[in-house]
Amino acid sequence: MGCNSSGRNRQATSVRYGLAVTIFLARHAHAGKRSEWVGDDEVRPLSPRGQQQAIDLLAVIDHAPVGVILSSPFVRCVQTVEPLSASIGVPITAHDAFTEGASPDAAYALLLALDEVDGLACSHGDLIPPLLKQLVADGMDSDGPLIDQKGSVWIIETRNGRPFRGRYVPPTS
């Protein structure tokens, strides 16, 4: 099973069987303190610091042929990937599998379904640690501890739907 981009990204390869596919797993950028937000937490936006982290995400991706952008529908996640989406012309697909409190199994299945095209998924701090643990259990070698600061990205390489290498990129600000 693969998620493909219908040719939207100028660099995305339509068939990647047997080749490494890169998945960028991002934790949403800084959105201020939950305790200081008045209103529905799903609409809590990025802080000015988080807006800069979202822009800085472009340098982390560094011209990778991202053909799919998946995100929690929470505003702070969507805002984290909006600059990338605008820059490369790939729409954001909001998916409940990446929301706070979602089942890690559903998110994991979606991540590994990206077997034909490089992709990015943006999620929350409660979901990323169990995803990383499952990736390691399934064969991903990591370059250090399994951490996930706001605005950080894991660069995960897969082959034939199996993870084999992961590298952590901390937030820039």
Q: What is the pLDDT of residue 18?
A: 67
Cα separation, 156 vs 150, whole angstroms: 17
**72 is written with which tokens?**
């929690």
The DSSP call for residue 80 is H
Q: Give the mean pLDDT of the chain.
A: 89
Taking the model in full, what pTM does it have? Answer: 0.88
Q: Which domains does the chain have, with CATH numbers?
A: 20-169 (3.40.50.1240)
Listed range (26-30, 55-59, 62-66, 104-108) with the worst mean pLDDT: 62-66
The span from the first CA to the last CA of the chain, in angstroms, equals: 37
pLDDT tens for each residue of 126-168: 999 999 999 999 999 998 899 999 999 999 999 988 999 999 9
**15 is written with which tokens?**
């068939």
E strand or H helix at 21, and its extent?
Answer: strand 20-27
